[in-house]
């Protein structure tokens, strides 16, 4: 990857497509300069060969577009048939408690394998790892988390990132400052975390430690309201969280990816244009607009208007996060098989 970029005043959109290949409408939409990336879902996937063809067509259209997916493992793995089924990350905690070194080695292997299989098919980035701390109450986090305490999450996620970074895949920590202490699912509701900032600081620890180690290229804030810190809006629309705490106190200069602006947790911010304006004002760089093309069109228009009104806002270029292509040699294949066996042993 290229030298780190300071993303403070860059803004753009990450959108999606409906099918398994680009349509004429998709091509026209993706050629807009406000589009900085594309996120893929299960509906966009049939097989590794089809995925490779799709990503190649995207690259041929615009080589600067960052192609993303949620490929965490467990419940959240968009590409399954033809890919290794990755375990839920919480399964590593059991190993960690028995043998820390073994767990960290396995976490690194899983990060490497996830990155390998995506880059092999032309996908550049997985929105991972989840840095939320599991408290056995959240309906959306659960076994997506690496553990029940900050140290375990930071260590296991750090090892997972090390595996990703060995293939130059960037890591995006989510969901800042922590989604694990509320029951509600922000895809469906507006979660409210009533804890004090002092209590929430514990959840911030994995983010802070991995930022200090220069392991996070991106951060995704939660669509969660933390009224003791900012009672006006959720973290993803909050200047307090994104400017004062994330940018200033934690000195994070990487990409702030909004969580999907179509989620119920974002709806309180208003229309898609209003959500976009508030996310930009708060400091988000990459605005995710998923599963609703009309909404994405509105978000793109809002970004265009924001840049016209504020000359300080510049186009978001995420090409520095695109990893180089890799050649799958015998050593890669052998390591892949060994890790797949370790996964089988872990799950059985």
106 SS3 class: helix
- Which residue numbers are catalytic? 187, 259
- CA dist 150 and 59 (Å) reads 39
Cα 74 off chain centre by: 15
Structure-token pair, residue 274: 């209003």
Q: Please say whether the dihedral angle defined by the alpha carbons of residues 101, 212, 39 and 230, taken in this order, is positive or negative.
A: positive
CA angle 108, 112, 118 (to 5 degrees): 150
Region of 283 on the Ramachandran plot (φ > 0 left; ψ -120 to 50 alpha; else beta): left
- CA dist 340 and 105 (Å) reads 14
Structure-token pair, residue 3: 């030298």
Beta strands in the chain (DSSP E): 10-15, 35-40, 66-69, 71-73, 76-77, 125-126, 172-176, 218-221, 225-226, 230-234, 255-256, 286-288, 314-315
Longest dimension (CA), the chain: 57
CA dihedral 90, 153, 125, 30 (to 10 degrees): 90
Return the half-sphere exposure (C-beta side, CA atoms, 13 A cut-off) of residue 77: 21
Q: Write the DSSP symbol of residue 130.
A: B
């Amino acid at each position: 990857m290229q030298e780190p970029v300071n993303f403070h005043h860059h803004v753009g959109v990450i959108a999606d497509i409906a099918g398994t290949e680009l349509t004429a409408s998709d091509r026209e939409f993706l050629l807009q300069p406000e589009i900085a990336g594309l996120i893929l879902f299960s509906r966009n996937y049939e097989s590794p060969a089809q995925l490779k063809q799709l990503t190649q067509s995207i690259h041929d259209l615009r080589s600067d577009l960052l192609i993303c997916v949620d490929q965490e493992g467990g419940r959240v793995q968009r590409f399954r048939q033809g890919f290794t089924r990755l375990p839920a990350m919480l399964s590593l905690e059991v190993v960690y408690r028995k043998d820390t070194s073994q767990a960290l080695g396995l976490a690194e292997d899983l990060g490497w394998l996830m990155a390998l299989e995506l880059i092999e098919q032309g996908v550049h980035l997985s929105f991972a790892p989840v840095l939320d701390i599991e408290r056995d109450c959240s309906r959306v986090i659960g076994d997506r988390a690496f553990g029940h305490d900050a140290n375990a999450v930071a260590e296991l996620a750090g090892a997972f990132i090390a595996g990703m970074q060995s293939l130059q895949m960037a890591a995006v920590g989510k969901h800042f400052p922590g989604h694990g202490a509320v029951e509600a699912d922000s895809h469906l509701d507006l979660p409210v975390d009533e804890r004090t900032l002092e209590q929430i600081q514990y959840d911030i620890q994995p983010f802070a430690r991995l930022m200090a180690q220069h392991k996070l290229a991106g951060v995704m804030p939660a669509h969660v309201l933390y009224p003791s810190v900012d009672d006006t809006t959720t973290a993803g629309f909050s200047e307090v969280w994104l400017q004062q705490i994330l940018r200033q106190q934690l000195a994070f200069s990487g990409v702030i990816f909004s969580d999907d602006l179509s989620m119920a947790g974002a709806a309180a911010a208003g229309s898609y244009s209003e959500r976009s304006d508030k996310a930009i004002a708060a400091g988000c760089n990459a605005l995710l607009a998923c599963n609703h093309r009309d909404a994405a069109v509105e978000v793109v228009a809002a970004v265009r208007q924001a840049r016209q009104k504020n000359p300080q806002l510049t186009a978001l270029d995420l090409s520095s996060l695109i990893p180089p292509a890799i050649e799958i040699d015998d050593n890669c294949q052998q390591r892949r098989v060994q890790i797949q066996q370790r996964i089988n042993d872990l799950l059985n």
